[in-house]
Amino acid sequence: MGLTTSLNNAVSGLRTNQDALSVLSRNVANAGTPGYHRQSLNVIDYNSQNSSYARTAGVTRAFNTSLQTYYTRQVSDAANSGVQANYLDQLQGYLGKPGAAGSLDTIFADLQKNLQGISTSPDDYAARAQAVASAQTMAETLNRLSNSIQGMRQETEGQIASHVNNLNGMLNSLAEVNNRLLDLGMTDSARASLQDQRDRLVSGVAELIDVKADYRPNGTVALMTRSGVGLLDNGVSQFSFESAGNLSPNSQFNVDASQSSVGKLILTTPSGLTLDLVAQGVLQGGELAGLVTLRDKTLVEAQEQLDEIAAGLAQAFSTKNTPGTAASAWGASGFDLDLANMQPGNDMLLTYTENGVEKRVRVVNSTDGKDYVDATGQRVISINLSGDPTAAANMLGSKLPTLTVTSTGAGNLRILDGGVGGATEVKSASVRTTASGVQGDGLAFNLFVDQGDASFTNNLNGNPPQKQGFAARISINSAILADNRLMVQHEVGGTLGDADRANYVISQLNNMKFVSGGNPAENSGRFQLSGTLGEVIGQTLNFQGSSINAALTKADDRQLTLDTIVDQMQSEYGVNTDEEMSRLMELQNAYAANARIVSVVKELLDALFAST
């Protein structure tokens, strides 16, 4: 090997060492930089007949496509669960734990206790005042909880709008990074830095919306949602959010855009195609999906449960149950029912047997025409009972063909069984109506009322139905706030020593049954409440508590999975300073060796030239 060859080999070694030191210094300098991927120098050994030397062939950036894809998916799932858990934890703080001071069950128990106080001492002003105060606390608590839930729904809309702006910004930045990565004249270190920025932006997008990333050989990336909607490829899709303004319990999502009263999340593709991401079910992960779920499902269900409690309160105090009068004709027996005082939303209850099997029917005075079987197995039929009694009888008869249903006059309905030896037998029938005021209409009275002291009848004919949002509107009858004697005086001038009204209401609270949710088939996935008012309140708190705990557990599990992936990425992508320092010593020794060869060659050449 000649001196020139030795010198060339040593110089190539020095150049390789210098490039390796440059890469090493970048690694060490960025050891704590989030999203930085460790770099390594590609060294190629060249061998020939007379020599062997090294040269560099670019920089390799640590990257694992499968690991990165798994990480991106888990980022979306963790963000989705995390934002829901944060809101539900806040909701738990509002509702309180069962039995805690200020929780619904505790306040309801106080109301029952104070009503018992009136039953014991109806003429005691303080006892009546305490009962009214408990009722007012109950109504105000429902108002507060309803307002808190709607406030959280409003906050989700604000966050959606903010995320849309951030999402558009990140997608545009990612498109710019893609364009710069197409520059073939870029240095390897600059390209690696851009790819780090690319991956940070992809992770940022994944936090907000579920994405699948397609990493191209040229370093660029294309994004689409898990459902296959393109976000970034030959152009950038743009998100927009059309806010609905202030949300109320009546502001709910509907797949029919003309009936939806919440904000719309729209995606516009580069070709001009627009998609309603919520109506078309595009969102499957990320914070946006979590916020939409909270706004349109989770918090709406919590509001509906509060509305059920509010409706139950009003109905327990104001409902009059009038049993049917025994009737018979043509050998058949049954009951005559007085419909004269029925208001929209009032109902009648019917129990009969058919071939020995008991059947329960609830006939609601409504024009919505919805028939179904509720969560307790009771059949619910909707018929207009306030109009022509003959038409009502014919309609009900067509729905109950094994019974005979007729009208014997205005405001009357007669229901008869199949007669002696027949397959059917009517066991009981009653009509439930709403008291018209606070005196002169029996023991029931309107303590809890709607806006303007209006009676709550659970009217289904309105749009929306009366129950929807009632928890936000429920209040105490102003006449009773002005004169608490009405808590016991069910007749004008009645004695204050009469405990009948208090005892009636106590019995209603303990025995009147409620069923929530309407048609279970139309509310798939919703928890159905059923039982007395106390049981409904307990079921609401238990359901919300278990749902909140499940959401928190799910968020913790997904975060743990994400942390595990991050640790794996840190092991594969991260910079180990100990290893880099060990590598630095190797490079220093190699550099010294190559420098020594250069020095020796110089000395030999100097000696050679001096001898000539």
pLDDT (tens digit, 9 = 90+) per residue, 399-435? Answer: 999 999 999 888 899 999 988 778 899 999 999 999 9
β-pairing, 372-373 vs 357-365, is: unpaired
Q: What is the pLDDT of residue 601?
A: 67
Q: How many whole angstroms separate alpha carbon 551 and alpha carbon 88?
A: 8
Gyration radius (Cα) of the chain, Å: 38
Least confident of 39-53, 79-93, 347-361: 39-53
Whether residue 49 is predicted with pLDDT greater than 60 in this model: the reply is no
Compute how many other C-beta atoms are within 10 angstroms of the C-beta atom of residue 568: 14
Q: How many whole angstroms separate alpha carbon 338 and alpha carbon 323?
A: 9
Task: Dump pLDDT digits (tens) for 476-529.
Answer: 999 999 999 999 999 998 899 999 999 999 999 999 999 987 777 777 777 888
Distances in Å between the Cα of 107 and the Cα atoms of 308, 313, 429, 546 are: 16, 12, 34, 21
Residue range 535-544: mean pLDDT, rounded: 93
Closest CA to 263 of 274, 281, 276, 280: 276
Residue 38 pLDDT level (bands cut at 50, 70, 90): confident
Whether residue 448 is predicted with pLDDT greater than 60 in this model: the reply is yes
Closest CA to 38 of 67, 59, 56: 59
Q: What is the pLDDT of residue 174?
A: 95
Length of the chain, please? 612
Q: Which residue has the higher pLDDT, 210 or 577?
A: 210
Least confident of 6-20, 163-177, 214-228: 6-20
Whether residue 586 is predicted with pLDDT greater than 90 in this model: the reply is no
Task: Dump pLDDT digits (tens) for 234-264.
Answer: 899 999 999 988 999 999 998 888 888 999 9
Structure tokens of 119? 């039953």
Whether residue 51 is predicted with pLDDT greater than 70 in this model: the reply is no
Residue 535 pLDDT level (bands cut at 50, 70, 90): very high
Residue type, 41: L
Q: Which residue has the higher pLDDT, 36 or 26?
A: 36
Residue range 430-446: mean pLDDT, rounded: 93
Percent of the chain with pLDDT strictly greater than 70? 90
Beta strands in 243-346 (DSSP E): 264-268, 274-276, 319-323, 325-329, 332-338
Residue type, 157: E
Q: What is the pLDDT of residue 108?
A: 96
Burial of 364 (0-12, 13-18, 19+ CB in 10 A): buried
Residue range 183-201: mean pLDDT, rounded: 86
Q: How many whole angstroms separate alpha carbon 587 and alpha carbon 598?
A: 16
Least confident of 108-117, 239-248, 574-583: 574-583
Cβ-contact 505, 512 below 8 angstroms: no
Q: How many whole angstroms separate alpha carbon 453 and alpha carbon 473?
A: 10
Q: How many whole angstroms separate alpha carbon 403 and alpha carbon 405?
A: 6
Task: Dump pLDDT digits (tens) for 54-95.
Answer: 666 677 778 888 999 999 999 999 999 999 999 999 999 999
Residue range 371-398: mean pLDDT, rounded: 91
Residue 369 pLDDT level (bands cut at 50, 70, 90): confident
Compute how many other C-beta atoms are within 10 angstroms of the C-beta atom of residue 205: 25
Whether residue 353 is predicted with pLDDT greater than 60 in this model: the reply is yes
Whether residue 288 is predicted with pLDDT greater than 70 in this model: the reply is yes
Percent of the chain with pLDDT strictly greater than 90? 64
Whether residue 155 is predicted with pLDDT greater than 60 in this model: the reply is yes
Instruction: Name the residue with tokens 């008991």.
Output: 358
Distances in Å between the Cα of 538 and the Cα atoms of 309, 339, 489 are: 10, 34, 32
Q: What is the pLDDT of residue 12?
A: 67
What residue spans define the domains of the chain?
Answer: 3-62+575-611, 318-486
- End-to-end CA, the chain: 21
Structure tokens of 388? 């022509």
Largest CA-CA distance found in the chain, in angstroms, rounded: 146
Residue 472 pLDDT level (bands cut at 50, 70, 90): very high
Whether residue 211 is predicted with pLDDT greater than 80 in this model: the reply is yes
Whether residue 604 is predicted with pLDDT greater than 80 in this model: the reply is no
Whether residue 1 is predicted with pLDDT greater than 90 in this model: the reply is no
Least confident of 51-60, 146-155, 386-395: 51-60
Average pLDDT, the chain: 88
Specify the DSSP class assigned to residue 526.
Answer: P
Q: How many whole angstroms separate alpha carbon 151 and alpha carbon 472?
A: 12
Residues whose CB falls within 8 Å of the CB of residue 362, separated by 6 or more in sequence, listed in order: 347, 348, 349, 350, 374, 378, 379, 380, 381
Q: How many whole angstroms separate alpha carbon 571 and alpha carbon 567?
A: 6
278: left (phi over 0), alpha (psi -120 to 50) or beta: alpha
Structure tokens of 481? 């706030």
The order of strands in the sheet holding 264-268 is: 238-242, 264-268, 274-276
Q: How many whole angstroms separate alpha carbon 267 and alpha carbon 240?
A: 6
Distances in Å between the Cα of 464 and the Cα atoms of 70, 344, 373, 461 are: 45, 14, 22, 8
Q: How many whole angstroms separate alpha carbon 310 and alpha carbon 500?
A: 24
